[in-house]
Structure 1
Amino acid sequence: MSVQQHLARISDLLARPLTGSDAAYHLVILRESRDFAPPNDDWGELMRTSEEFEGELIDLAAALDARWGPHATLSMEGCVHAFMDPDEDDLPPFFRYLCESGYFGDLLYWRVGDRLLAVSVGHEDKEEPVVLFAGVTGSGEGFPT
């Protein structure tokens, strides 16, 4: 898919109503690779695919920066630690869903009106597909102020 196609899907995502509480969110997969489970477990191809998706994320971020200004970056490291801690149950729903999905990559995000738009590349483990995704939430919970 092209950056323009990703932008169209993100516009659709931003137009969706956030139902329930202000913590509601939507997530869309913009692009997904094949899986890398045996016998398709070619490490070199996985690395090339990851680099390709990261490059696509950079291009998408540049287009989103042009639309909504410079993005901020949020490391998912703290969320992952909280997710893995059996005594921790305060992870905001948006971040909990990202962790449950195995999307541990740093988030690039923008404030768009009363919402936060985040994009990233996720890859749960070596057998799973690489995923370029976008998410929208109405809650700033878990994001720096």
Structure 2
Amino acid sequence: MKTVKQVFALAVALLWGAFAQAQIDPVNTDGVALGGYDVVSYFSGKAKEGKKTFAAKHNEVTYYFASKANREAFTKAPNKYLPQFDGYCAWGVGAKAAKFPINPETFDIVDGKLYLFFDGEFNGEQLDTSVDWKARTAELEKAAHTNWPNIKDSK
């Protein structure tokens, strides 16, 4: 019950623009994706920070990679590794039809696709939206893919 209350409180606050400090936008003001995390590394089961020396651009966004091999894998098939919903919180898109920031270390791979989540401090407590996502993956994934075209270009 506590988690449900936390999720509701998060949704209300985010709709009013009160984002938690630990979260980031999927692409920062310098055009770097996911706080510099390596999108290929997620598929190995662990989020790893990339290095500027292994950078690649795709659709005007810069991606950093932990290794040359990961950069090469990405450049050969970028769509295989790109996060769903342009990197916004999958739970937010599915449950609230809204764009929420993400913690680049909180993710899920479903059917070979990368989903990222809000996971940080909110109202003095830790809140991880991936918990609800994992409890209702099929429902929220379907809703997110339905909602995304309507909110994709919103701010």
Higher relative contact order by CA 8 Å / sep ≥ 6: 1 or 2? 1
Same fold (TM over 0.5): no
Q: Which of the two has greater helix per residue? A: 2
Band the TM-score falls in, shorter-chain normalisation: under 0.3
TM-score by length of 1: 0.26
